Amino acid sequence: MQTGFPLPLIPTYLGAIAVAIWAWLALARGFFWRVDRATAAAAEKEFPGKLVAVMPARDEADVIGTVIPSLLRQTVEMPVILVDDNSVDGTVDIAWRAAQGAGKAEALIVVRGAPLPPGWSGKLWAVHQGIERARQFNAEWLLLADADVLHGSEAVARLGVIASEGNYDLVSFMVMLHCASLAEKLLIPAFVYFFFMLYPPAWIRDPRRSRAGAAGGCVLLRRAALDRAGGVEAVRGALIDDCSLARAVKQQGGAVWLGLTDESRSLRRYESFGAVGSMISRTAFHQLRHSSLLLLTTVAAMAVTFLTPPALLLTGARWPMILGAAAWAVMTVTYVPMVRYYGLSPLWASTLPAAAVFYLGATVHSAVRYWLGRGGQWKGRVQDVATRQISRRPGRNVIIPLQLITSRFRALVALGLTGWALALSLRSLLTSRPSSWTPLVSGILPPWWVVIINVVFYGAVAWMVVAFVLHPFRAAEKALLVASLSTVVLAPAAVLLPAMSGGIQVATTLLYLTAFLAALSVFLSFRKETAGASPDKQS
């Protein structure tokens, strides 16, 4: 039957949107994808002022013995303040021995970290203590260095030249990350690519733009600019501390620079996909400002941008395939420079959609961990915690006796809702049989049973909404709401699936899969009395 809306054109429309997105990303977003290494001639110029290095360290015994000498042997003379953030693995002893072995024991200063106060992230509290100690040297510049980054002998001098020639207040290097395992080859170049997509270096350098960013492993900061920005206290609770600090500096009129270097490299290894996933999920939802709306928007945007182009190649239709191939080609071409920068074959550039799926799942997982009170976990600390508040408005919590039903049961309901939607979309995808929102057994049940089941389905979703309204800050309900509502947001797509081409069915099914995985993550992780980790659990 002919409908009023040209359903066969939907894949073409999506393909045109994907092409437009990638044309904009390639040409109008600061050419973020270009790989420009820092090439300042460090040996020919003196460092522009006195410098002190501050390095926070927490249980870094496996790398600190290599990193400390690399800082002490820089061509720029400087004391190194090591802030021991309650390490229990002998980090300080190894650092002392490394400094003595380098013949620079007098240049290493160890500060024992004080207990973490409320409202501070662990790293920034350690950095703050190090900077306070550095004030005794009356230095013009501060080098903020991570304890797992090995520096080339001229890396700091090169930062100084860049700062001096461009009159920058904050300059930082995105150091070379470890890239040897299968997980690293698939995901690490993509990590840097996505980072520069969010923080284009050209936009960061442009004083007319508000975009600011930095890479925390190697940051050179003018102390006067830090003071104007309010010091580290101004960003004390930030998990993405480097970008937050750069933003604070730029908002106060400071000039910021960010670039790549292969002269310094991270020693931290990510041997498994789980290790990379943990690194991403630690801060991903924090990056989205803990917004469920931004999370859903991100899921949809990444699906259209990264998943639609390859999915359109499966449609068999001429124009969707042409547009999908064009979008994927632009995506691949812009990714090749980063893949080559990490010494990989250009063929790895075609795997960016797969990497995007992984990052999308890790972002959803980050939101779930936050809602369950385990956000921002790093070396024994939970640093990104949802504040749990139950409304005390009279009658607000007793309209429906939701307390009689366990949270685990609500998790099971959300799992059923998202699983049902996923099953419908998979059936339509694999068999090309209409399913929309009718149950899988619609062929053998009377029509009135179909109506009842659909009423129950939407009633269950409405119940989830009511649960969220009654308990707006309950961690589990919020996660379940996003998981179940995503099926409703995508309901039109589910209805149209039988009329869509294969590529769009694949893309839509992937969105349903994301919602289902969110609900599954909640259900498997939930505890009946989840209260969420409170700030006093930070140690």
**CB 315, CB 502: distance < 8 Å:** yes
- Specify the pLDDT at position 311: 87
Residue in this structure with the two tokens 């209805």, named with its chain if needed: 495
pLDDT band at 460 (very low <50, low <70, confident <90, very high): low
Asked if 429 and 501 touch (Cβ cutoff 8 Å), the reply is no
pLDDT of residue 90 exceeding 90: yes
pLDDT in the model for residue 371: 73
Give the 3-state secondary structure of 331-364. Answer: HHHHHHHHHHHCCCCHHHHHHHHHHHHHHHHHHH
Mean pLDDT of the 84-101 span: 94
How far apart CA 180 and CA 347 sit, in angstroms, is 16
Mean per-residue pLDDT, 350-373: 86
Q: Are strands 108-112 and 80-84 parallel, antiparallel or unpaired?
A: parallel
Beta-ladder partners of 174: 260
For residue 46, the SS3 value is coil
Give the residue extent of every domain in the chain. Answer: 7-24+286-537, 42-271
Helix axes of 352-371 and 292-302: crossing angle, nearest 10 degrees: 170
| pLDDT greater at residue 294 or residue 538 | 294
- The CATH code of domain 42-271 reads 3.90.550.10
pLDDT for the residue 5: 40
Q: Taking all residues of the chain, what is their mean pLDDT, rounded to a whole number?
A: 78
Strand order through the sheet with 149-150:
108-112, 80-84, 51-57, 141-145, 218-222, 170-176, 256-266, 149-150
Nearest CA to 188 out of 132, 272, 98 is that of 272
Rounded to whole angstroms, the Cα distance separating 399 from 412 reads: 22
Range with lowest mean pLDDT among 204-213, 320-329, 388-397, 481-490: 388-397
Give the confidence band of 426 by pLDDT, cuts at 50, 70, 90.
low
Average pLDDT over residues 323-337: 97
Judged against a pLDDT cut of 90, whether residue 469 lies above it is answered with no
Residue 507 has, within 13 A of its CA and on its CB side, a CA count of: 32
User: By the 8 A CB rule, do 159 and 53 touch?
Assistant: no
Confidence at 500, pLDDT banded by 50, 70, 90: very low
Q: At 396, is the pLDDT very low, low, confident or very high (cuts 50, 70, 90)?
A: very low
- Amino acid in position 475: A
Structure token pair of residue 60: 């870094």
pTM over 0.85: no
8-state DSSP, 386 = P
- pLDDT computed for residue 427 by the predictor: 60
Phi-psi region of 286 (alpha: psi -120 to 50; beta: other; left: phi over 0): alpha
DSSP state of 497: G
